[in-house]
Amino acid sequence: MSIIGVGIDVAEIDRFRASLERTPGLAQRVFLPQELLLPSGERRGIASLAARFAAKEAVAKALGAPGGLHWTDAEVYVEDSGQPRLRVTGTVAARAAELGVQNWHVSLSHDAGVASAVVVAEG
């Protein structure tokens, strides 16, 4: 296996919150319904959403930042173990296949008002 691409992104949590408040429908354009909710059915916290947004940006960077990728074609989810994972479909899956991506590695973090994500595309 070899590294095909690495992406990193950060999102200022308060700025991300303001964007969601200022732009009705933005959350639904960026996230799948299951990304917006905790397993309990409660709405996910803003820091967690900001980290997921950063991960989606990092995915695009790991794929060479091509145009035409759809936000909802990259889903960030967490396994029961707590490990974040990535599920890709549509435009993101097509670009990943074009590049030979077979595995994804995702790391999410949020602290001190900033959310961050690193994504590694492996082929």
What values do phi and psi take at 37, rounded to 5? -120, 150
> Terminal CA-to-CA distance of the chain, rounded, Å?
5
CATH numbers and ranges of domains, the chain: 3-122 (3.90.470.20)
Q: Name residue 103's amino acid.
A: N
Dump pLDDT digits (tens) for 25-76.
999 999 999 999 988 889 999 999 999 999 999 999 999 988 899 999 999 9
- Tell me whether residue 73 is annotated as binding: no
Dump pLDDT digits (tens) for 16-32.
999 999 998 999 999 99
- Tell me whether residue 111 is annotated as binding: no
What values do phi and psi take at 13, rounded to 5? -60, -45
- pLDDT given for residue 12 in this prediction: 98
Overall pTM surpassing 0.85 (yes/no): yes
Give the C-alpha separation, 113 to 111, whole Å: 6
- pLDDT given for residue 39 in this prediction: 82
